[in-house]
């Protein structure tokens, strides 16, 4: 780990051409402090290692593991699909415990045929059901508020305030919020929301990237810090002032960067982190 990268973590999906072993070796060699693990890399059915093997690889790397990404998608008109999503989230909790991830990132789901109010009720019920299981495994469940552009099909929870409200309504200490600047930067209450999560002791994760005003695709054209208009450094300070002491997780989905040489891309991520989200 390098001194001024002590709080830098990178999601495996950010450099998705690398498997878990490669991510761990490269990140550690570059001085990066942590890694956010996407589930397919610890799923043999998806070509990954077993969670147990993943646990050994991660432990050997010395990297911190803030997050396992992701579970959720609780919203479907089909009751069977809803039950399966909850079962899947239980497995994610167990996997997180196995690999030593501090929390599971929850993208809660939405469906065009399910009214938002109904969807939010189902999400709250699902999170309430899962919280004890998470606590029993020593794992947090972090609801990630997701940009309103995905409110029809990916997440009925679009604001920090709503994510925190669900946590507080259930009132279980295993629940928290993962703030991704891409999803919440536009919110006039973003600072207030981050501060409130901090006060409640529920600010579990902080994801960084950037919003490109001219994005070509709503899914896979995210920017690296400095490519767009998000005040990443400022929001990082807001989180720190709210008591957040965890790693900042670089999560970027980008056809552009995925096409780059991965070693060069890793260097660029570190360069942009130092320039646009410096550790003070």
* Residue ranges in contact with a second copy by CB under 8 A: 112-113, 115-116, 120, 147-149, 151-153, 157-159, 161-162, 165, 185-189, 211, 213, 218, 228-229, 231
Q: In whole angstroms, how close is the CB of 40 to a second copy at the nearest point?
A: 25
d(CA 115, CA 50): 38
Q: Could you tell me the smallest distance in angstroms from the CB atom of residue 192 to a second copy?
A: 11
- 171 or 214: whose CB is closer to a second copy? 214
Q: How far is the CB of 188 from a second copy (least distance, A)?
A: 4
φ and ψ of 183, to 5 deg: -85, -25
Q: How far apart are CA 30 and CA 267, in angstroms?
A: 8
- Could you give the CA distance from residue 183 to residue 37 in angstroms, rounded to a whole number? 20
Comparing CB distances to a second copy, the nearer of 153 and 168 is 153
Cβ 190 to a second copy, closest distance in Å? Answer: 9
153 or 264: CB nearest a second copy:
153
SS3 annotation, 141-199: EEECCCCHHHCCCCECCCCHHHHHHHHHHHCCCCEEEEEEHHHHCCCCCHHHHHHHHHH
Report the run of H or E that residue 57 belongs to, with start and end: helix 51-61
Of 44 and 77, CB closest to a second copy: 77
Coil, helix or strand at residue 78 = coil
Which helix (H) or strand (E) element contains residue 9? strand 8-11
Of 12 and 124, which CB lies nearer to a second copy in the complex structure? 124
Distance CA 227, CA 214 (A): 10
Whole-number minimum distance, CB 43 to a second copy, in Å? Answer: 28
Q: Label the pairing between strands 8-11 and 203-208.
A: unpaired
Q: Nearer Cβ to a second copy, position 115 or 138?
A: 115
The two most distant CA atoms of the chain are separated, in Å, by 50
Return phi, psi of residue 265, to 5°: -65, -45
Distance in Å, CB of 212 to a second copy, minimum: 8
Q: Shortest distance, CB of residue 123 to a second copy, whole angstroms?
A: 11
**Which residues are within 8 A (CB) of 158 and not within 5 positions of it... i.e. 6 or more apart?**
145, 146, 147, 148, 150, 151, 183
- In angstroms, give the least distance from the CB of 219 to a second copy: 12
- Toward a second copy, which CB reaches closer, 52 or 192? 192
Residue with the two structure tokens 């003070």: 280
| 78 versus 259: smaller Cβ distance to a second copy | 78
């Amino acid at each position: 780990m390098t001194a001024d990268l002590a709080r830098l973590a990178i999601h495996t999906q950010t450099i998705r051409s690398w498997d878990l072993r490669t991510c761990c070796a490269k990140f550690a060699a570059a001085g990066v402090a942590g890694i956010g693990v996407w589930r397919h890399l610890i799923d043999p059915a998806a070509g990954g290692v077993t969670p147990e093997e993943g646990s050994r690889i991660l432990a050997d790397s010395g990297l911190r593991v803030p997050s396992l990404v992701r579970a959720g998608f609780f919203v479907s008109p089909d009751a069977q699909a809803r039950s399966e999503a909850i079962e899947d989230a239980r497995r994610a909790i167990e996997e997180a415990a196995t690999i030593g991830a501090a929390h599971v990132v929850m993208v809660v789901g939405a469906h065009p045929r399910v009214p938002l109010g109904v969807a939010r009720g189902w999400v709250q019920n699902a999170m309430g059901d899962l919280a004890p299981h998470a606590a029993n495994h020593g794992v947090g469940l972090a609801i990630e508020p997701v940009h309103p552009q995905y409110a029809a099909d990916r997440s009925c929870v679009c604001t920090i305030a709503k994510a925190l409200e669900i946590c507080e309504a259930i009132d279980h200490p295993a629940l928290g919020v993962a703030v991704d600047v891409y999803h919440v930067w536009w919110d006039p209450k973003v600072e207030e929301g981050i501060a409130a999560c901090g006060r409640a002791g529920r600010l579990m994760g902080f994801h960084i990237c950037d919003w490109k005003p001219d994005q070509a695709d709503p899914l896979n054209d995210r920017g690296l810090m400095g490519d767009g208009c998000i005040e990443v450094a400022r929001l990082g300070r807001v989180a720190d002032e709210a008591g957040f002491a965890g790693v900042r997780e670089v999560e970027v989905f980008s056809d552009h960067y995925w096409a780059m040489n991965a070693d060069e891309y890793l260097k660029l991520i570190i360069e942009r982190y130092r320039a646009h989200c410096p550790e003070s």
